[in-house]
Amino acid sequence: MKADHPSGFAIDDITVGPFAHGFGTAADGRPFTFRTVRATLVLELYRADLDTEVPGPEDIVAIAQAPVTDIDLDDERSVAALVRDMVPDAVPVTAAADRDMTAVRALLGRISAVIDGM
């Protein structure tokens, strides 16, 4: 799906369902990704001057989160509308050093996500 709007906002790829995810470009030209983590949609907005196709954690400039309990995750339009509404509400992130995660914490987070998905 490519959801274009006069504002310049576009979703280039979207997968719906309980593990909805995708990526696109905000109205100001910055790329973003989104994914469902438990009952929350997490949006990561990246810096505009990326020099790579796949941004890393150090490229994140803002994050937004919203509950998905009030939308139909099987409907592309609902997911796209939520993502579009989340972009302006994205909160700037702190320095990359503050966001670093230990390997153990990352592993526990992944195990927790798998258990919650069962």
Per-residue pLDDT of the chain (118 residues; tens, 9 = 90+): 444 455 689 999 999 999 999 999 999 999 999 999 999 999 999 998 888 788 888 889 999 999 999 999 999 999 999 999 999 999 999 754 444 556 666 667 777 777 777 6
User: Token pair for residue 23?
Assistant: 């990526």
Domain boundaries, the chain: 3-117
Check: CB of residue 34 under 8 Å from CB of residue 44: yes
Against a cut of 0.85, is the pTM above it? no
Q: How far is CA 67 from CA 14, 101, 114, 116, in A?
A: 18, 24, 19, 16
Only one residue has tokens 């909160």, namely 91
pLDDT at 90: 94
Taking the chain, what is the end-to-end CA distance rounded to the nearest angstrom?
Answer: 28
Residues 6+ apart with CB under 8 A from 83: 11, 22, 24, 32, 34, 41, 43
